[in-house]
Amino acid sequence: MSTLYPPLSQARIQGMPAYQALCAEADADYGSYWARLAREFLSWKRPFTKSLNDAEAPFFKWFEDGLLNVSYNCLDRHVEAGRGDRTAIIFETDDGQTRKVSYRELMAITSRMANVLKSRGVKKGDRVVIYMPMSVEGVAAMQACARIGATHSVVFGGFSAQSLRDRIQDAGAVFLFTADEQQRGGKALPLKAIVDEALEGGSCPTLKDVVVYRRTGGTINWVAGRDHWLHELMDGQADYCEPEWVEAEHPLFLLYTSGSTGKPKGVQHSSGGYLLHAALTTSWTFDLQDSDVFWCTADIGWVTGHSYIAYGPLALGGTEVVFEGVPTFPDAGRFWQMIQKHKVTVFYTAPTAIRSLIKAAETVPAVHPKNYDLSSLRILGSVGEPINPAAWEWYHQNVGGGRCPIVDTFWQTETGGHMITPLPGVTPMAPGSCTLPFPGIQAAIVDELGNDVPNGTGGILVVKKPWPSMIRTIWGDPERFKKSYYPEELKGYYLAGDGAIRNAETGYFTITGRIDDVLNVSGHRMGTMEIESALVAHTELVAEAAVVGRPDDVTGEAICAFVVLKRSRPTGDEAKQIANELRNWVAKEIGPIAKPKEIRFGDNLPKTRSGKIMRRLLRALAKGEAVTQDTSTLENPAILDQLAKAN
């Protein structure tokens, strides 16, 4: 098998002409362009002969007759190439201890975990849920699934028992990796106890085994026969597990994300196409070199942690930091202190983190980045939400010392990797703009009928041609996949769900925000319907609820809920107390990230005569704007005054 893939030093794109040449190559022969890259960046057990198959569009297939293994591509091939002693992961715990893991060691840990899966009867195509803290073992659990061809579904450790149960059930998972507890911000937080609650009363009959990584040693309950310690099962296992060679289209993972309905959707990704784009974007967007220390601060529970922690950097044989903790512990200088300590060269984080660290540095001068040696940095990245120009400037000056390009990467859970982004050494930057499409990505802005709109005019963001790392389907719901992403009126274009506008002179893209009922709070995606369902699930108290987003200085958007109770409308302290109860209720139903920042109580909600809630009015009220819109179709205009004020 070929272990030939570009040495990192040759992978970067040198200048705008090189970028344009790649775009031209893709335009001229789209299939051959992606096939060339798939041969260069990945090692195939059996080479593919077909690139794109669009016979069953929009269920596209890429490289379908090729065989490969994702874990082989991320681990074995580097060891075989004599790079086994290179550091793969520099892991830092919440309390500041460091553990370095080489490629050889990561391959052994992964193999043993893969052998554990096999010993429990997990087979190719089975679903495995991973509910683990940020850890070497968390990454290895993902790699272990890939190694045996099991399809993983990582659930973020901040999700509630109810959310975890929904995902286990929807995926039909047979096996679950978790930990006793997670250590974050100096506190031990439960994981296993939440798993126990999720599985209560035989609610997940497909799930046979719960395997527990011992992180804190805290006391936990134990269900004999179902629960096993990871270290005990790993003890007897061999250091090597033969990779299971899978078809390029084999589902590598499901990742649940929010849409416009109450039910999160299981976004299904492939093995070959997905890994290609994870590796390619890590190489081109971050210009990753052998000498780099890469740090993506995301959690493996989100797609960013999949593509830019678990897969992309490892596929390239890079060295990366994996961090267990939070940016504000022991103080808000933690990121800067870690960049200094590990000599991080490429740093990738979210605007919400930057904004909160700006605030912190303004109040506590000791945690300002200027107190740290950040001279190792050469590239900065931003992801998850628009970065406002003020935060961009601060990041550029105070973290990047005015010398590091910032890559503002626009993409989504569904896209698998970067779609629109500057490339370092190529794209002149423009604060607040994600600039130009990644070479080969046919991003465009159209009207409701799929017609191109001129630059300078806002519209709907679409991708005109399929690309290798795109979502394959929604697990168990192909109809919903078609309806959500390939609506008939859009000429077969992929609908991203965002609005965008291109600059009239430069053609640069700026994302103007979601055009559906999806909110972005601290870079976390949440459906308004999901939060509404959680609120009305409190059947004792809540009669009706409507949730909207409003702009927030730190979190980007904040959740504002308008609630009608089954009892009379509360005021004063009583309103505060009930609001608190409901916030905690939502945290329990979905997770703390879904807690509304504000809850306003009304006798009713603004509705049209046909009973439809007028959300645009609620959005204006949440922002504190006077309602200037036409309210003549409103059944009950008087309600607006009541809802305009906080309780």
- Please tell me the count of residues contacting ligand WT7 according to CB under 6 A: 22
Stretch that binds ligand WT7, among 112-120, 226-234, 378-386, 594-602 (CB under 6 A): 378-386
* DSSP annotation string for 567-634: SPPP-HHHHHHHHHHHHHHHHHHT-GGG--SEEEE-SS--BBTT--B-HHHHHHHHHT----S--TTB
Any contact of residue 352 with ligand WT7 (CB under 6 A)?
no
* Least distance CB 409 / ligand WT7 (angstroms): 5
Q: Which of 390, 355, 396 is nearest to 558 (CA)?
A: 355
- State yes or no: residue 408 binds ligand WT7 (CB under 6 A): yes
Select 351 or 596, whichever has its Cβ closest to ligand WT7. Answer: 351
Q: Which stretch binds ligand WT7 (CB under 6 A): 328-336, 354-362, 406-414, 485-493?
A: 406-414
Helix (H) or strand (E) segment spanning residue 10: none
Cα of 634 vs its chain's centroid, Å: 39
497 binds ligand WT7 (CB under 6 A): yes
Q: Which of 127, 306, 472, 525 binds ligand WT7 (CB under 6 A)?
A: 525
Examine residue 147 and tell whether it contacts ligand WT7 (CB under 6 A): no
As a whole number of Å, the end-to-end CA separation of the chain is 67
Q: Is 525 annotated as a binding residue?
A: yes
Using DSSP's 3-state secondary structure scheme, residue 549 falls into strand
- Say if residue 498 carries a ligand binding annotation: yes
Q: Which of residues 239-268 bind ligand WT7 (CB under 6 A)?
A: 257
Exactly one of 203, 260, 371, 412 binds ligand WT7 (CB under 6 A); that residue is: 412
Helix 30-41 / helix 272-285 crossing angle, nearest 10 deg: 80
Residue 143 touches ligand WT7, criterion: CB under 6 A: no
Question: Should residue 381 be labelled a site residue for ligand WT7 when binding is judged by CB under 6 A?
Answer: no
Q: Residue from 159, 177, 336, 410 that binds ligand WT7 (CB under 6 A)?
A: 410
Residue 383 binding ligand WT7, by CB under 6 A: yes
Residue 386 in the binding site for ligand WT7 (CB under 6 A): yes
Asked if residue 94 belongs to a known ligand binding site, the reply is no
Stretch that binds ligand WT7, among 121-129, 284-292, 331-339, 384-392 (CB under 6 A): 384-392
By beta-carbon proximity to ligand WT7, the closer residue of 137 and 408 is 408
Spatial distance between the Cα atoms of 62 and 55, rounded to a whole number of angstroms: 11
Q: What share of the chain is helix, strand, coil (3-state, %, to 5)?
A: 35, 25, 40
Of the candidate residues 158, 259, 264, 384, the single one contacting ligand WT7 (CB under 6 A):
384
Which CB, 257 or 484, lies closer to ligand WT7? 257
CB within 8 A of 488, min separation 6: which ones?
Answer: none
Nearest-CA neighbor of 207 among 181, 169, 234?
169
Among 505, 512, 566, 557, which residue's Cα sits nearest to residue 538?
566
* Residue 612 token pair: 């439809």
Interface residues for ligand WT7 in 534-573 (CB under 6 A)? none
Q: Which is nearer to ligand WT7, 15 or 428 (CB)?
A: 428
Q: Does 155 bind ligand WT7 (CB under 6 A)?
A: no
**Segment (H or E) for 130:** strand 127-131
**CA–CA distance, 87 with 581 (Å, rounded to integer):** 47
Instruction: Map the footprint of ligand WT7 across residues 276-335, applying CB under 6 A.
Output: 302-304
CB 198 within 8 A of CB 204: yes
**Residue from the set 64, 166, 299, 498 that interacts with ligand WT7 by CB under 6 A:** 498
Antiparallel, parallel or unpaired: β 67-68 and 246-247? antiparallel
Q: Between 84 and 138, whose beta carbon lies closer to ligand WT7?
A: 138
Rounded to whole angstroms, the Cα distance separating 70 from 354 reads: 33
Query: CB of residue 469 vs ligand WT7: minimum separation in angstroms?
Result: 12
Angle 585-587-588 from CA coordinates, rounded to 5°: 65
Give the amino acid at 486. Answer: Y
Distance in Å, CB of 373 to ligand WT7, minimum: 28
Compute CA distances 458 → 435, 488, 621, whole Å.
15, 21, 25
Residue closer to ligand WT7 (CB basis): 169 or 412: 412
Annotated binding-site positions for Mg(2+): 536, 538, 542
Annotated binding-site positions: 184-187, 304, 384-386, 408-413, 498, 514, 522, 525, 536, 538, 542
Residues lying near ligand WT7 in the complex (CB under 6 A) are found at 257, 302-304, 383-386, 408-413, 434, 496-498, 511, 514, 520, 525
Annotated binding-site positions for CoA: 184-187, 304, 522
